[in-house]
A = this chain, B = another copy of it.
Amino acid sequence: MMQTPLSIGIMMEHAEKFFAKKEVISQTHDNLHRLTYAEVGERTRRLMSVLGQLGIQKGERIGTLAWNHHRHLEIYFAAPGMGAVLHTINIRLAPEHIIYIINHAEDRILFIDEDILPLIEQVRDKLNTVKTFVVMTDKDERPESNLTPLYSYEKLLQTGSPEQPFENDIDENDPAVMCYTSATTGKPKGVVYSHRGIVLHSYALGLADTAAISESDVSMPVVPQFHVNAWGTPFACTWFGSTQVMPGPRFTPKRLAAFIERFKVTITAGVPTIWLGLLRELEQEDYDTSSLRAVLCGGSAAPKGLIKAFEQKLGVPFAHAYGATETTPLVTYSRLKSYQKDLSEEDTLNERSKQGILVPGLEMRVINDAGDVTWNGEEMGELLLRGPWIASEYYEDDRTANAFRDGWFHTGDVVTVDGEGSIQIVDRTKDLIKSGGEWISSVEIENAIMAHESVFEASVVAMPDAKWQERPIACVVLHKDHHIGKDELLTFIRPQFPKWWVPDDVLFFDEIPKTSVGKFLKRELRTQVKEYYEIKN
């Protein structure tokens, strides 16, 4: 067989040739843009040419601080397409973390949305490697800024060659993209994606039994492009010729709902928090969402109530998936097997609330102290992963040794696997609650509480206990204008659990602290709960 490399450039060339008329619809700060893949392809080529003019060398890192829009998409292909490395920076990180990752990645150039300029102006003096700044704006005038040299994206493109070829000399294992994941303690950790990893992951997204991304799709990634490449959808959707709808900066549930209706979005992807927000919007106002064929949900486990609302009230298939920054990210996808179509409504919902089966191309193990667990839906163990789109290390980081051992990535996620091979996230290894020598899953209790109609969010954490070692405490946010007490809530969940799983207390919050990507920040929550009891006692 020919030794042609799997490379990202080929994906855009495919779109230019076979899907030239299809569109990317992009909301920026000022305007709604509609560009064809012929245009996006030409602009990508101009950008590669410009990057060369600006002195960017093969292998150098190109940072982006940007929302989901067409310019960000162009950099997705131009950076790896010219042999450099796209580095998407999470704009929600604390400034000291942003400084750290730009310096650690040694970014040479930063592409910055106009509303994010102040963030970088503020830390500019601490960036050691950045030589050039580019602002992405629709305005003719470049904004006032202390960043120098500061170019305007659109003006730069005018100087590039529309026929610049994609770099030919690519080894498929060359780095193409990198992304830092926030650690629960310490600095963020960098993950590098190769051309090979991105291409194979894109195939996985196109499979009929996973996301089935297709030319006939209209895809709206809500998950940010700075978060694991918006789960890889912009790469796959471009390759397969889907229409893409980029919702732009600081979108609201209202904009998402309006875009679904207006552009007939068929597939969209995001974390549970986003879908909770969208659900409330859809319940308050009338929108035509009949075009949707799948709502992809990942990042953390979706509560059953959310799945039920989307599937049964709105008639929208809710597709649970699992992955991580270290896994590009798609690892499992939830889809009923052909012989499960006759399951009862409740059993179907149970299946839907699992994270699904492994995507073809990866290998998994689930282990605890006794070795590989039995696939019976009950035994818990840590999920280990192996495969061509699983990272093998953190970028220049000592923490590699702990997570990547014996040829496997140790996810830190505790799961069960049922007889069908479908996994269910039970907890993070570090969030499991150990009571009287037995494990309690904080996530299972959270899901049970969130099934109550008055509950908006719930997070369960461990508190030290003299007798039992640890005991669970539930932290709950209620829906607006809902009133319910501790006893009613515990009575509601009690039938579902052994007696010793039931939380010792329920605390009501206005808001639960979250990470920059919308996951519960349990470390912070534990501190708050601990302080509460210290003050109380």
Contacts and interface: CB of A to CB of B under 8 A. Distances in A.
A1 B193 contact: yes
A147 B14 CA distance: 52
A173 interface: yes
A466 interface: no
Contacts of A10: 361, 363
A249 interface: no
A214 interface: yes
Contacts of A6: 361, 388
B18 A386 contact: no
A197 interface: yes
Contacts of A388: 1-4, 6
B203 A208 contact: no
Contacts of A420: 18
A392 B3 CA distance: 8
Nearest to A404: B2
B207 A2 contact: no
Interface string A15-53: 001110100000000000000000000000000000000
Nearest to A11: B360
A389 interface: yes
Interface in A166-211: 173, 192-194, 196-197, 199-200, 203-204, 206-209
Contact of A2 (B213, B391, B421): B391
A360 B212 contact: no
Centre residue among A204, A209, A214 by max chain B CB count within 10 A: A209
A311 B150 CA distance: 59
B17 A421 contact: yes
A112 interface: no
A311 B91 CA distance: 52
Given A2-B392, A360-B11, A389-B1, A209 B240 contact: yes
A207 to B, nearest CB: 4
A414 interface: no
A297 B2 CA distance: 26
A239 B192 CA distance: 28
Nearest to A199: B361
Centre residue among A206, A360, A363, A390 by max chain B CB count within 10 A: A360
A215 interface: yes
Contacts of A207: 203, 206-208, 240
A241 B210 CA distance: 13
Contacts of A533: none
A28 to B, nearest CB: 25
Nearest to A18: B421
A216 B173 contact: no
Interface in A46-98: none
A459 to B, nearest CB: 32
A458 interface: no
Contacts of A199: 361
Interface pairs A-B: 6 shortest CB-CB: A208-B212, A203-B203, A1-B197, A208-B214, A216-B338, A18-B421
28 contacts: A1-B173, A1-B193, A1-B328, A1-B388, A1-B389, A1-B390, A1-B392, A2-B386, A3-B173, A4-B387, A6-B388, A10-B361, A11-B360, A17-B421, A18-B420, A21-B339, A199-B361, A203-B207, A206-B208, A206-B360, A207-B207, A207-B240, A208-B240, A209-B214, A209-B216, A212-B212, A215-B337, A215-B338
Given A1-B391, A208-B208, 11 more contacts: A1-B390, A6-B388, A10-B361, A17-B358, A206-B208, A206-B360, A209-B240, A215-B335, A215-B337, A216-B338, A240-B360
